[in-house]
Amino acid sequence: MAEQASFIDRLSARFTGGKVIVVEPRGEVTLEVPASDWHATALALRDEFGFEQSVDLCGVDYLGYGSDEWDTADVSSQGFSRGVEGKGAGRFAWGEFPSEEDAGGAQPQHMPTQRFAVVAQLRSYQHNLMLHLRCFAPNEGLPVVRSLTDVWPGLNWFEREAFDLFGVIFEGHPDLRRILTDYGFVGHPFRKDFPLIGNVEVRYDEEKKRVVYEPVTSVEPRVGVPRVIRDDARLQTAAGERSQEAMK
C-alpha cells in the first residue's frame, strides 16, 4: 500500500494539469489528462515511469451515463412498475437522435459536457504497476486525439477499432481506416445514439444485379425487458406430495 501511495503521489506531482483517480477497494489508478497533453503524458509515462507497454486502448461514449430506463422500485410478481418511456440511448429509428428536451412526457436524455473519451491500459513490468490513462476529446462533433502509435506501436489496430466503432479520429495514425465493419457501413455502432436496429439494411437487387444498402424500414426499435425471477412453487409442491405419500 505504501508503494502504491508513493506512485500516486509521484503521478500527482508530475502531471499537475491532470487528475489522479483511485477506485477502492481494488486500488485501480486512472490518470485523466486534457487531450492537449495526451501524447506528451504518454511519452513521460513510458520514459520516466517505466510503462513499457500499452496492452489495450478503447473508446468510451458517456451519452446517457448515470441514467436508467427502468424504475427499480415496486418490483413484484407482476413485473416492474413501468415500462420503458421515451427514446433511451440506442432506441432510435432511422434519422432520430437523443434530445435534452422532454417531449410528450418522455424522460429527457442526459447530454454530457464531455462525451467521447479514450482510455489506454498501461503496464510497467519492471515496477509491477498498472495504470489507466484517459482523456476526453474536446469536440464531440468531431472527436480528435493524438495517436499513440509512435509511443506504443502495438496500439495501431486498437486505435483503428476505436475509430471504427466510436468515430474517434487519431491524428498521426499511419493507416486510420475501418477494421471490423464493412466499407459501406454507415455510422459507428458503439456510439450510444447508434440505433440498435442499425442504420442500413442490405439486400440483393435483382434489377441492379448487386447488393444495395438502404435505410432500415422493416424493424421497430425495442428494448429487452429485465428478467424477473418470481417464486417457484414446484419445490414446495413436490415436498408436500412426498409428505402425503409418507403418511399413507
pLDDT at 27: 82
pLDDT at 82: 45
Mean pLDDT of 81-105: 54
Question: For 58, phi and psi rounded to 5 degrees?
Answer: -145, 160
Residue closest to 110 by CA, chosen among 67, 139, 70: 67
Among 22-36, 56-70, 120-134, which is the least confidently predicted range? 56-70
What is the tens place of the pLDDT at every residue in 28-62?
999 999 999 999 999 999 999 999 999 999 999 99
pLDDT at 80: 46
d(CA 168, CA 175) in angstroms, rounded, equals 14
Confidence of residue 137 (pLDDT cuts 50, 70, 90): very high
Residue scoring higher pLDDT (191 or 197): 191
pLDDT at 165: 96
Q: Class of 2-65+112-180 per CATH?
A: alpha beta
Percent of the chain at pLDDT > 70 equals: 72
pLDDT at 192: 85
Q: Is the pLDDT of residue 105 over 50?
A: no
- Looking up cell 513521460 gives 44
Confidence of residue 248 (pLDDT cuts 50, 70, 90): low
pLDDT at 211: 82
pLDDT at 91: 61
Q: Judging by DSSP bridges, how do beta strands 28-32 and 200-205 pair with one another?
A: unpaired
Long-range Cβ contacts of 227-231 (<8 Å, 24+ apart): 228/75, 228/77, 228/79, 228/80, 230/77, 231/77
Mean pLDDT of 73-78: 48
Q: Is the pLDDT of residue 83 over 70?
A: no
